Amino acid sequence: MPGFDSGATQISLFDALVAASRKHGARKPILEDQERNPLSYLDLIRAAFALGRKIAGFTRKGERVGVMLPSSVGGMVTFFALHAYARTPTMLNFTAGIRNLKAACELAGVKTVLTSHRFVEQGKLHDLVDALETLTKVVYLEDVRRTVGLADRLYAAAAGAMPKRFRVATKPSDPGVILFTSGSFGSPKGVVLSQANLVANTRQIAIHITMDPAWVFFNPLPIFHCFGLTGGALLPIFEGMKAFQYPSPLHIKQIPALVKDTGAAVLFATDTFLNQYARSADPDELSGLTFVVCGAEKVREETHNLIHEKFGPIPILEGYGATEASPVIAVNKPADNRRGTVGGLLPGMETRLEPVEGIPGGGKLLVRGPNIMSGYLNAQGGVDALPGGWHDTGDVVALSDDNWIRILGRVKRFAKIGGEMVSLTAAEDLAAAVWPDCRHAVVSLPDPKKGERLILVTDRRDADAGPLIAHARTIGAPELAVPRKIIRVQEIPVLGTGKTDYVALQRIVDSEIK
């Protein structure tokens, strides 16, 4: 396997697009969505110049411009249009709610938000737009495109022929994107990823897993989430593979049929969505996949088995990352897929494990490398760099001799019960083993006698502590890890990324237990 050359990633995002066009052929179709009008590299570059020139007319160089668009051709053209004219895409999570969305715009100093009439109508996002208009100017791309005339198209054609002469030069260290963390455990943070960070992460993945330029990547994950942006869009485009963008992972019945129709080789998903696709799909709809990449949450054994039994030996490659890492830190390989792990550490990364009291066999993971962010946005609009370049993931992991990672839990997702440290993740795994077809989440509450106690929230209607205790005894798990209090709900709250929403979950528990 070739080594990682950090010098090769010292290139701006737009120049990386131009380099990929020259390497793989300007006429190669590279980007498509449900409209089924594929763009070649040349089409994408020309469209970026045409749109970017118009956006440049009402924004300034270096401005953080809000982007509220789904995964789509339009979303990626807008991303590169901003880069062609040295603006910073600030990706807005339209599923995060009005309060978080306004907070994100205020934190990043966003004055202009780009969206689409069609998207707002289909997503019923009028309330969000109304709220944003109290802080920003909301610009609709359909209105901008209507102003593109013959002179603009001629300009774009000339720019497409000589892109490096027409694009506004930026440095690899300049911001590539501003994203906001998922907010699973609290308020989202603004993460500034440099252009070199994003290019580096795509290169790290391509070295770690050998790619075939003939592959089609099917990405239904949002581009406001780093997994969808880097893995589902930038990686295939920079490596010569078609990136098929789909606007929502929630279209359970439509996606499997489209995976088959597009001839997709790679599907991006989370465990929750993949499990639903597999249950809905006909046997021939997912059987053509080379592999599936899953992140954001643990892949259950039930999902692995369901895919294998219904569609054949298609590897589900579980990976691990963080927005702060652009996002991929580790991922399994098609030929070396170790269940129970989140894969091997990507090349070019360093790790450090710090001991966590009461948790033997692992430590809190800190990572450093070319894909680690420039820093967090601060209240003054600046960027707070990381001390020594180290990012504290907050995850407790075990690391093998060959740098394969097994997640033990998050530091904040351990409870101290009777003086013992108990993993809330392990308690969730107990419930998943007993009721694999359902969703479960565990939180802890203070307890006057034992310090803390575990609460299981589940959509299993007849859930009872008895089977959990029995299973814990069977596998030799400590009974301290068995939640005795169970709250049954219609559904477990999730974020737009598919992760469990522990903030909403805590509110449910607090309202039930007073």
In the chain, domain spans: 6-399, 418-512
450 secondary structure, DSSP code:
T
> Which CATH architecture does the domain made up of 418-512 adopt?
2-Layer Sandwich (3.30)
Q: Taking the domain 6-399, which CATH number applies?
A: 3.40.50.12780
User: 509: part of which helix (H) or strand (E)?
Assistant: helix 502-512
CA distances in angstroms from 337 to 77, 208, 299, listed in the order given: 34, 13, 12
Are 409 and 223 in contact, with CB atoms under 8 Å apart?
A: no
pLDDT of residue 100: 86
Are 426 and 481 in contact, with CB atoms under 8 Å apart?
A: yes
Q: Model's pTM, two decimal places?
A: 0.85
**Tokens linked to 213:** 């330029």
Chain-centre distance of CA 183, in angstroms? Answer: 13
Are 220 and 269 in contact, with CB atoms under 8 Å apart?
A: yes
**Tokens linked to 315:** 């590897």
Q: Residue 120 half-sphere exposure, CB side, CA atoms within 13 Å?
A: 18
The Cα–Cα gap between 116 and 70 comes to: 10
Q: What letter represents residue 177's amino acid?
A: V
pLDDT of residue 187: 63
3-class secondary-structure state, position 401: coil
Maximum alpha-carbon separation in the chain: 76
The Cα–Cα gap between 15 and 9 comes to: 11
Are 10 and 170 in contact, with CB atoms under 8 Å apart?
A: no
Counting Cβ atoms within 10 Å, is residue 503 exposed (0-12), middle (13-18) or buried (19+)? middle
pLDDT of residue 1: 44
CA distances in angstroms from 21 to 50, 196, 226, 266, listed in the order given: 18, 18, 23, 21
pLDDT of residue 42: 97
The Cα–Cα gap between 445 and 453 comes to: 5
Please list the pLDDT of the chain residue by residue as tens digits (514 residues). Answer: 456 776 777 899 999 999 999 999 999 999 999 999 999 999 999 999 999 999 999 999 999 999 999 999 999 999 999 999 999 999 999 988 888 899 899 999 999 999 999 999 999 999 999 999 999 999 999 999 999 889 989 999 999 999 999 999 999 999 999 999 865 455 678 999 999 999 999 999 999 999 999 999 999 999 999 999 999 999 999 999 999 999 999 899 999 999 999 999 999 998 889 999 999 999 899 999 999 999 888 888 889 999 999 999 999 999 999 999 999 999 999 999 999 899 999 999 999 999 887 777 788 999 999 999 999 999 888 999 998 999 999 888 999 999 999 988 776 677 767 666 677 877 888 888 899 888 898 888 887 777 778 889 999 989 888 888 888 888 877 777 788 889 999 988 887 666 788 778 888 888 888 6
**Tokens linked to 8:** 């090769």
User: 329: part of which helix (H) or strand (E)?
Assistant: strand 328-331
The Cα–Cα gap between 83 and 508 comes to: 42
In terms of DSSP bridges, do strands 175-180 and 190-194 run parallel, antiparallel, or are they unpaired? antiparallel
10 Ramachandran zone, left/alpha/beta (phi>0; psi -120 to 50): beta
Residue with tokens 């069609």: 118
Among candidates 217, 207, 205, which has minimal Cα distance to 290? 217
Among candidates 342, 237, 250, which has minimal Cα distance to 297? 342
Dihedrals phi, psi of 302, to nearest 5 degrees = -60, -35
